[in-house]
Each structure stands twice: as structure tokens, then as C-alpha cells.
Amino acid sequence: ITIFYNKNWPNHSANGAFLVAKNGQIIFEKYEGRANFSKENCINSNTPLHIASVTKVITATAILKLVNAGRLELDQRVNTVLNEFPFPDITVRMLLNHRSGLRNYAYFTDRNEKVWNRRNILTNQDILTLLATKNIGLESIPDTRFAYCNTNYAMLALIIEKITKMSYKNAMNEMIFKPLNMKNTFVFDYEKDKDRIVPSYKANGVEIGKDFLDAVYGDKNIYSTVRDLLKFDRARNRPGFLEPDL
């Protein structure tokens, strides 16, 4: 592993966190680089970093926890939970499996100001309302093909909120982060956290700025550490966390 690491990031060129575990036990761990290039503070084992679409795995697990608890069914129609949702044939399972046929919200909100003014911050609820009112339409017939789409997981986050009667942030805390002692993991709150989180950078070290899509959650916007993700991975392999058949 050391040879692999040094080959890919020679001369301490990495900027991030790297962990390898075998049978749940850490066998290699490395932290390098800066959490903020302007402040020059270093990344360490407690530095939460944006895990981007790995967030989807955690959102999916929360949905499965609700299925496990009998509060939701995998083949339940989405519009039985989200009344505004305009596509009656789409089920929870199709959202999870990227087989819903929904269009990606990043594409139907960035080209036509009659659909969305990009000077306004987009929310999950806004996406649902746009689907219901702007004749967005589907990209394909539900459950006919796979197409990776962030909209699926933005809708799953709203389902979590509807079923639990909590914000996505609080639901994830109560269902996953606190029980698993993921103490350095949180859901990004755009207004509260935008100036305190570890920024994302391009390869040349230029910070990636915020835009109108950055408040949407469920598909992204969980910040975590590799050690916390290991706790999550261990839990997913325990029969007491989710039913093995599920």
C-alpha cells in the first residue's frame, strides 16, 4: 500500500485523507496537505471533507433503515409520500437504483430563466416544485434503463424528511451519525456552514466557488472523515444495523 500511495502521490503531493482497512481494521492511513490554502491549516484525522456523491450511499442507507423499520416500502410509489411529485409510476426503489427516468436538476435549472433564476439558491423543495409545475418531463420511461441522476437522491432526502418529520440534517444525525459515533460527520447547511467548511480546490490549487446548486442535499453535501466512513462501513456489515436480506 505504501508503494501504491507513493507512486500515485509522490513527494507529499496529496491533499486529503487516505485510509485502507482490512476486515474492519486500519492497515494504512495518511493525511497530507492543507484544509484551507489561504490559512495553511493542515488536514488531519478529524478534518471533515466533502464526500460529494459518496453521500448517496449514506442517504440510501437511511432509506433502507426506514424500510427496515416498516415506515416505508421499497416499491412504494413516491407520490404517496411526496404529494406534489408528478410521476405516479416512479417508486422509491427506482430512485435508489437510478432507474426513475428523472432529469438531472443541474441541467434543467441552468439553461432557462423561465424555469429557474440562477441568482437564487436552489433547494430540494424547489426541485420538487419545478418538477410539478414547469413541465420538466422525464428523460426515459420509469424502470426501463439505468441513468445516474442526482435528482433521485434529492427526492430521497425529501422522503426521509417527510417520513421522519425531521430535517434531513437532523434525521441523519439521529439515524446514522450519532448511533455510529461519527463525531466528525455532518450535513452541510448552506447559510451556517458556507464560510467554515473545508473548501474544494481544482488541481491547480484554485478554490471552487459556491453556486446556486450548493444548498441541495441527499445527493451530496455530507462532510466526513475516513475514520468516520470506516465506522459506517463496519456498521453496514453488521446484521444488527440493517437486516442482511435487505
Q: How far apart are CA 118 and CA 214, in angstroms?
A: 12
Instruction: Enter the DSSP assignment of 134.
Output: S
Q: What is the pLDDT of residue 245?
A: 86
Q: How far apart are CA 229 and CA 54, in angstroms?
A: 10
User: Which tens digit of pLDDT belongs to each residue from 172-204?
Assistant: 999 999 999 999 999 999 888 888 888 888 878
Q: According to DSSP H, which parts of 43-193 are helical?
A: 55-68, 92-96, 105-108, 124-133, 150-164, 168-172, 190-193
Q: What is the chain's alpha carbon radius of gyration, rounded to the nearest angstrom?
A: 19
pLDDT > 90 fraction of the chain, expressed in percent and rounded: 80
Structural contact between residues 30 and 44, judged by C-beta atoms closer than 8 angstroms: no
Structural contact between residues 218 and 153, judged by C-beta atoms closer than 8 angstroms: yes
Q: Which of the residue ranges 9-13, 106-110, 167-171, 241-245 has the most confident prediction, judged by mean pLDDT? A: 167-171
User: Which tens digit of pLDDT belongs to each residue from 31-73?
Assistant: 999 998 888 789 999 999 999 999 999 999 999 999 999 999 9
Confidence of residue 94 (pLDDT cuts 50, 70, 90): very high
Q: At residue 9, does pLDDT exceed 90? A: yes
User: What is the average pLDDT score of the chain?
Assistant: 94
What's the rounded mean pLDDT across residues 225-235? Answer: 97
Q: Which three cell numbers stand for residue 68?
A: 427496515
Q: How far apart are CA 60 and CA 98, in angstroms?
A: 11
What's the rounded mean pLDDT across residues 110-123? Answer: 90
Residue 171 φ/ψ region, left for φ over 0, alpha for ψ in the -120 to 50 degree band, beta for the rest: alpha
More confident residue, 26 or 198: 26
Q: What is the pLDDT of residue 5?
A: 96
Q: What is the largest CA-CA distance in the chain?
A: 55
Q: What is the pTM of this model?
A: 0.94
Q: At residue 3, does pLDDT exceed 80? A: yes
Confidence of residue 239 (pLDDT cuts 50, 70, 90): confident
Q: What is the pLDDT of residue 183?
A: 98
Sign of the alpha-carbon torsion through 50, 53, 54, 59: positive
Confidence of residue 152 (pLDDT cuts 50, 70, 90): very high
Q: What is the pLDDT of residue 2?
A: 94
Task: Report the run of H or E that residue 184 belongs to, with start and end.
Answer: none
The three-class DSSP label of residue 32 is strand
Q: What is the pLDDT of residue 38?
A: 83
Q: At residue 233, does pLDDT exceed 80? A: yes
